[in-house]
Structures are given as C-alpha cells and as structure tokens.
Amino acid sequence: MRGGNVIPALSSGGLLPPGRHAASMAEIEEVFVERAPHTDHRRRIFRAFQLYADMIGDILERGTFWVNGGFCTYKALPPNDVDLAVLIDPTLPLTNKDHERLLPLFTLLGVETQQPRGWAERVQPMGGLIDSFAVAAGVVEQEEYWDGMWSKVKGPDGEPVPGVTKGYLEVSW
C-alpha cells in the first residue's frame, strides 16, 4: 500500500478537516487505533481492514480505498465498522473468476437467503466489521457521489447535519 502524509489533526469534535487526505495503513493504525479512544475495539476492526486489503489486493493489482465512517473519528461511542469505497480501475483485465471472488467482499443490500428468515436487509463482509462499496474509478458521477457521501456528518438520528462537512482518508496500492 502506498502511503500518504501525516494525517491532519482532528477538530475539537473529533472529525477530519474537510477533504480527501492521503494516508498509509501505518498512519491510519497510529491515529485511529493506537491514539484513538476504544483502542482494543478499533484494533479488531483494523485487523479486519488489513486482511480485507490483502484479499482485495490479491484480486486487483491496483486500486484505491476511500476510508470513512465512525472509525475515522474520535467519538464517545466505539465505531461499529470501517466504511470503504473501493475505487476499481475499469481497465483492469478482470476475469469472471475475479468477479466471483470480489462479490462477497462488498456490502450487499436486499439479499435473499435460504435460512433462517429468507432475506437479509444488509450483508457486510468480514463479519460486519467492514462496510464496503465498489466504485468505478474515473467515472465522475460515481466518484462525486461517494465523495459527497463520505463528506457528510451525521447527527445522533443518523441524518446528515445541514452545512457541516468532514474529511476522509485515501489509501492506494
């Protein structure tokens, strides 16, 4: 994984300043695991992220993660997961087998199952520690959508706070 700069200081509210900030996995671990509240809980999420990155890297020779969510903040409550947009270069020569290997690595919505309930509203990889979405790199509409999503600040009710933005991280390989 290629690495970035020093991650900028968080605001008094525990948020990254607005924008996309280049980072390395080591920098993310230092700032959002070792120096963050709920270190032990975050360490488990980060280990899942490291394994996830290895699994994605086994399939894609290059790409970018946009890293976001409660994991990239300092809040009173521990994060549930790490949110990822995985930017995939559409010119990569991916086989049908590659697509089969990628599919279970992304969050799936509205999944039909055999048991026990017959359906699942949301299925996340890595036991729910990762919330991950595929994005076609270079497709302006997709990148703008995820940039906008990752820049929103949500209130306690889960709704975006009007006029408030935050930053997120970018890791490339």
Tokens of 43: 């360490």
The 10 Å Cβ neighbour count of residue 138 is: 12
What is the model's pTM? 0.91
173 residues of the chain, pLDDT tens digit each: 555 678 999 999 999 999 999 999 999 999 999 999 999 999 999 999 999 999 999 999 999 999 999 999 999 999 999 999 999 999 999 999 999 999 999 998 877 777 666 777 788 999 999 999 999 999 999 999 999 999 999 888 889 999 999 999 999 99
Nearest-angstrom CA–CA distance, 31 and 163: 26
Torsion angle of the four alpha carbons 47, 52, 57, 62, in this order, in degrees rounded to the nearest 10: -100
Nearest-angstrom CA–CA distance, 64 and 87: 5
Nearest-angstrom CA–CA distance, 128 and 115: 18
3-class SS of residue 30: helix
Spell out the domain ranges in the chain.
Answer: 19-150+166-172
Nearest-angstrom CA–CA distance, 109 and 100: 17
Which class in CATH covers the domain with range 19-150+166-172? alpha beta
Nearest-angstrom CA–CA distance, 127 and 138: 30
Nearest-angstrom CA–CA distance, 91 and 63: 11
CB 153 within 8 A of CB 161: yes
